[in-house]
């Protein structure tokens, strides 16, 4: 995957995906720009990659229908993209997925099955689900088409905010990071790209030089509850990512409250984590023009109030 692939994805998404706003906050600094993917269709950046992936399928792959495994945002993105393209979709979701995300996937018309995420690794559960359903599997992150679609968020950010010296990206399996880092490093090679996560699996894998596997993490960032980075995305991150920092649940909650109080943004925990890294001082821009990806806002009222209480 390269910059041309991301630009091609931008053409596919033109007029379909929302061009999400870029916001600023004096508290964060005059040179900090927040790319608000919480306003994307489906409530998160995931729509970009899913739609780009589904658009690439041939007639036979579309006829089989598509399936995916996700705690919510990718599930919603696949369900919505499938509805837009007239493709049948089935989604495997954890039993403890946020109710708002389950309801959204159902509302988009996809069939839902549930599983216990603590008894079976996500990759294994997804593989078995796809084999049983005999449908085209849509990975949440580990494919160049997914990453290229996600990378269009960084492309728009640069077009709207101008050149950046630093980009902070929430990192889970690595699709968003792979796409965004590809864009930034191609257009501004001297810029630093830093991932932000809650579990530490990506940071530890990069430090070890190989993908490590951990038990299912227990933190509030449900969009980052992965046990291992993606195989393809890991190689991209090894090449392009400068650092990864960690944020605690309390730091994430503080960022969600800040974004709500100061910018009137409703964000989910994984969506606010890059902002949390700034507020907690894990990353200090020190005058650098800084982009921050707010990756999603899919948190229901009941959960948001409960987290903020």
Q: Who contacts 309 (Cβ-Cβ below 8 Å, separation ≥6)?
A: none
**Catalytic position from the list 25, 38, 71, 295:** 295
Backbone angles phi, psi at 67, to 5 degrees: -140, 160
Beta-bridge partners for 25: 29
Residue 106: both structure tokens together: 């159902």
Q: Residue 105: how many CA atoms within 13 Å on its side-chain side?
A: 29
Maximum CA pair distance of the chain?
A: 53
* Residue 248 is among the residues annotated as catalytic for this protein: no
* Residue 295 is among the residues annotated as catalytic for this protein: yes
**Catalytic position from the list 35, 46, 185, 203:** 46
CA-nearest of 29, 15, 86, 50 to 275 is: 29
Q: What is the set of active-site residues?
A: 46, 295
């Amino acid at each position: 995957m390269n910059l041309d692939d991301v630009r091609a994805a931008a053409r596919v998404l033109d007029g379909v995906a929302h061009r999400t706003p870029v916001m600023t906050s004096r508290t964060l600094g005059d040179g900090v720009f927040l790319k608000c993917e919480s306003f994307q269709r489906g409530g998160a950046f995931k729509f970009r990659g899913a739609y780009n992936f589904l658009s690439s399928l041939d007639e036979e792959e579309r006829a089989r229908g598509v399936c995916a495994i996700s705690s919510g945002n990718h599930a919603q993105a696949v369900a919505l993209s499938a509805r837009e393209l007239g493709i049948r979709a089935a989604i495997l979701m954890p039993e403890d997925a946020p109710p708002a995300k389950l309801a959204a996937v159902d509302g988009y018309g996809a069939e839902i099955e549930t599983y216990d995420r603590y008894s079976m690794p996500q990759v294994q559960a997804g593989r078995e689900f796809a084999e049983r359903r005999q449908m085209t599997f849509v990975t949440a992150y580990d494919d160049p088409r997914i990453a290229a679609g996600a990378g269009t968020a960084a492309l728009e950010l640069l077009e709207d905010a101008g050149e950046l010296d630093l980009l902070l990206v929430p990192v889970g399996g690595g699709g968003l990071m792979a796409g965004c880092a590809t864009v930034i490093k191609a257009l501004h090679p001297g810029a630093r790209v830093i991932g932000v996560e809650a579990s530490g699996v990506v940071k530890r894998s990069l430090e070890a030089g190989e993908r490590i596997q951990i038990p299912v993490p227990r933190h509030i960032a449900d969009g980052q509850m992965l046990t291992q980075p993606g195989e393809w995305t890991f190689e991209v991150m090894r090449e392009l990512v400068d650092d990864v920092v960690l944020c605690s649940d309390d730091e994430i909650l503080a960022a969600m409250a800040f974004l709500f109080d100061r910018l009137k943004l409703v964000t989910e925990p994984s969506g606010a984590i890059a902002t949390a890294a700034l507020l907690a001082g894990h990353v200090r821009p020190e005058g650098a023009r800084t982009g921050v990806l707010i990756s999603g806002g899919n948190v229901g009222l009941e959960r948001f109030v409960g987290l903020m209480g």
